[in-house]
Amino acid sequence: MKRSIITTSDGSKTIQIGEWNEQYHSIHGAIQEAKHVFIKMGLNHFLELHKVKSMRVLEMGLGTGLNAFITALEAEIRNLHIHYEAIEAFPVLKHELSQLNYPSLLANKNQESLFETIHDVSWATPNSITTNFTLTKVQQYFSKLEYVSLFDLVYFDAFGPRVQPDLWTPDMFKRMFNALKPRGVLVTYSAKGSVRRAMQSVGFFVERLEGPPGKREMLRATKPA
**Radius of gyration for the chain, computed over Cα atoms and rounded to the nearest angstrom:** 16
Q: What residue numbers bound the domain in which 199 lies? A: 30-222
**pLDDT tens for each residue of 81-102:** 999 999 999 999 999 999 999 9
pLDDT at 110: 86
pTM of the model: 0.97
**pLDDT tens for each residue of 165-187:** 999 999 999 999 999 999 999 99
Instruction: Return all residues near 87 (Cβ < 8 A) that are at least 6 apart.
Output: 58, 59, 60, 61, 62, 138, 140, 142, 145
The type of residue at 148 is: V
Backbone φ and ψ of 126, nearest 5° = -65, 135
CATH number for the domain harbouring residue 207: 3.40.50.150
- Answer yes or no: are the C-beta atoms of 68 and 84 closer than 8 Å: yes
Task: Evaluate whether residue 36 is within a structural domain.
Answer: yes
Query: Closest Cα to residue 62, out of 94, 35, 89?
Result: 89
Query: Closest Cα to residue 74, out of 123, 32, 35, 31?
Result: 35
Q: Which positions of the chain have pLDDT values less than 70?
A: none
Q: Which residues lie across from 221 on neighbouring strands?
A: 186, 206
Task: Evaluate whether residue 81 is within a structural domain.
Answer: yes
pLDDT at 109: 85
Task: Evaluate whether residue 23 is within a structural domain.
Answer: no
Task: Evaluate whether residue 171 is within a structural domain.
Answer: yes
Task: Evaluate whether residue 17 is within a structural domain.
Answer: no
Q: Which residues lie across from 185 on neighbouring strands?
A: 153, 222
Q: What is the tally of structural domains in the chain?
A: 1
Task: Evaluate whether residue 11 is within a structural domain.
Answer: no
Task: Evaluate whether residue 4 is within a structural domain.
Answer: no
Task: Evaluate whether residue 202 is within a structural domain.
Answer: yes
